[in-house]
Structure 1
Amino acid sequence: MTSARIAACLAAGLASLWGQSEVSPNQPPNEDLYLYHSVPDIAVQPVGKPATPLSGLWRDRPLLITMVFTRCAGVCYPFLRSLRAATELAAKPPSGYRVLVLSFDSRDTVSDMKAAASGIGAGADEDWIFATAAEESVRRLAEATGFWFRWDGEKRQFDHPAVLLAVKNGRLVRLFAGGRITAESLGSVLRDLDGGFVPSYPLADKTSFRCFQYNAATGGYSLDWGALLLVLPGTIAFLAALLTFRPWRRRGARAPFPAA
């Protein structure tokens, strides 16, 4: 095979891998494609407050954003309730944070969002902001963060993933996607927002082994079974070497050089 053919095969392989890394139309957004990108500073209309750009919400503290629609019969309200419960259990970073629940449905009104806030028990919480925005602004935010939504005429519902966008100083720091969020998962997101060390990012359905276990109540980490798996190979190699060379040393000690 000539050098040109080898180069062509490599290029085709890389193109195939790149294509697989793109977001599938029916899959949650890929965090790696959007991490640390700038978030559009769109204007939103919060419930009971003047309109404000997003920068007015993230200027003095990090901002968590989730996008929903109030007529949702699927994942929206279960996800919001899990997020609400997680915020009450997870340790709050010193800098604090806000939660923005933004509608992507142009039919939703401020009154609809107010009812949604009351429905999950966040109506009186100053740190929870329910808001609407112009259709074009919503699409800009969605495109910049990988969020997608499309109308299903048969179901008369929007098809969309449930996501949580973690924004700090106008940049996307974390992107969580899943049907619900636990205090453990939210805790790792908050530590990232606060600039702390996050040894592992637990998946939404949890993993069997991980190096560290996160305690949502204290905000601390402890060693988990995964750390043992990292140490075990080295320990076995050390013991094997010890057992191999100790008998040789003892035999050598029993055979001194003859006297001159």
Structure 2
Amino acid sequence: MNIYTLKAFLISAVILLGSASAGFSQTNQLPEALSDVGITEKLGDYIPADVQLTNQDGELVMLGDYLNRGKPFILNLVYYECPSMCNFIMNSLTDTMKELRWTAGKEFDVLTVSMAYDETWELAKENKTAYVNFLNREGAADGWHFFVGEKSEVKRLTDAVGFYYKWDESSQEYLHASAIIFLSPDGMVSRYLYGMDYHELDVRNALFDAAEGKIGSTLERVLLFCYTYDPDSGSYVPYAMNIMKVGGVITVIGLGLFIGIFWIRERKKTSKQA
């Protein structure tokens, strides 16, 4: 993980929360309020399947009820009454999902979980209705799930993915980092994308990786094979080695077709001469 990038986004969070002017020293160090706020990547770890949450329909469910259906997940941790940063995160994620050719509920699912244990399932339902309507994609309502939960249960989930946040009395808001987290179909943490602006290519590649290359058309799989995640930039970049491999395969196929066509023509000429 790029610590500098993470700190930069935490700084942005403080600015959005309206406390930057009071919190930063001239050395640009993170304020004391953020000393135990941030993300510790838990790549390869699994979310606890027995975490109990309440979904947007008021039903008590376990996360395991949504796992092992053959689709990767986007997990985003927000809270529904957030006055600033969470709105940017949710709007950016929705905009990116509009750009994706893949659809929530078909190729992947989204799990939106409130970190605020006092929020209600009715509030989760309101948010789901608003964002699904904003997305305006057929079938998305079946694949975008909104949850609230008891403090202890939500904490089990956030600790499992290394997402650390806290309530700030002075601002009356939660202090937290900005990121979306990608999970494999069985709940393994696969990738983190930081910030509040998620590029379609990065999200598509992260979903592709989380699904172990099992989603998308054949052409998309070939194209996505040519990218690799760069932790320094926090995004996906062209991977020269894989590009060379794909180029080599294309060359071999092209050469094979050329030889095959040439051989068929020569056989026809020989047959006519005979």
Change (3 A) 1:202 1:91: farther
Query: Pairwise mapping of residues 168-187 of structure 1 onto structure 2 (< 5 A)?
Result: 168=184, 169-187=186-204
Segments of 4+ moved more than 4 angstroms: 202-207
After superposition, what is the alpha-carbon deviation per residue over 1:137-160, rounded to whole angstroms, capped at 9, x for unaligned? 111111111101111111111010
Report if aligned partners of 1:45, 1:131 keep a CA contact under 8 Å in 2. yes
Unaligned runs of 5+ in 1: 1-19, 214-220, 224-260
How does 1:103-142 map onto structure 2 within 5 Å? 103-122=114-133, 125-142=141-158
Instruction: Tell me how far apart the structure 1 counterparts of residues 115 and 102 of structure 2 sit (CA, whole Å).
Output: 28
1:167-204 CA-partner distances (Å, limit 9, x unpaired): 12121111222122121221111110221346322679
Larger radius of gyration: 1
Partner of 2:238: 211
Q: Give the letter aligned to residue 128 of structure 1.
A: W
- Aligned pairs for 1:10-49 within 5 A: 25=35, 28-31=38-41, 34-41=42-49, 42-48=51-57
Go from structure 1 to structure 2 and tell me whether the alpha carbon gap of 1:118 and 1:199 turns closer, same or farther (over 3 Å shift).
same
The answer as to 2:167 corresponding to 1:159 is no
- Is contact 1:58–1:167 with CA below 8 Å preserved after alignment? no
More displaced stretch, 99-108 vs 168-177:
168-177
- Counterpart secondary structure, 1:158: strand
Query: Does the 8 Å CA contact 1:87/1:183 hold for their aligned counterparts?
Result: yes
What number of residue pairs does the alignment pair up? 192
- The amino acid that maps onto 1:195 is E
Instruction: Give yes or no for contact 1:192–1:198 (8 Å, CA) kept in 2.
Output: no
Q: CA deviation at 1:54?
A: 0.9
Evaluate the alpha carbon distance shift between residue 142 and residue 130 of structure 1 in structure 2; reply closer, same or farther with a 3 A threshold: same
Checking the alignment, whether the CA contact within 8 Å between 1:122 and 1:128 is kept in structure 2 is no
Structure 1 residue 163 displacement after superposition: 2.1
> Residue 211 of structure 1 aligns to which amino acid in structure 2?
P
Aligned mates of 1:145, 1:70 — CA distance in 2: 20
Post-superposition shift, 1:205? 7.0
Q: Which amino acid aligns with 1:66?
A: N
- In structure 2, give the amino acid aligned to 1:156: Q
Correspondent of 1:90 among 72, 97, 100: 100
- Is the alpha carbon distance of 1:35 and 1:198 closer, same or farther for their aligned partners in structure 2, counting shifts above 3 Å? farther
Q: Secondary structure at the match of 1:67?
A: strand
Contact 2:227 2:239 in 1 (8 A): yes
TM-superposed deviation, 1:110: 0.7
* Residue identity opposite 1:200 in structure 2: T
TM-score (norm 2): 0.61
**2:77 counterpart letter in structure 1:** M
Give the 3-state SS of the residue equivalent to 2:205 in structure 1: helix
Moved more, 146-155 or 171-180: 171-180
Q: Once the 2 structures are TM-superposed, how far is the Cα of residue 89 of structure 1 from its aligned partner?
A: 1.4
Percent identity over the alignment is: 18
Structure 2: how far apart are the matches of 1:71 and 1:131? 13
Structure 2: gaps (5+ residues): 8-33, 135-139, 214-224, 245-274
2:112 to 101, 113, 117: 101
* RMSD of equivalent CA atoms: 3.2
TM-score (ref. length: structure 1): 0.64
Whether 1:199 aligns to 2:227 is yes
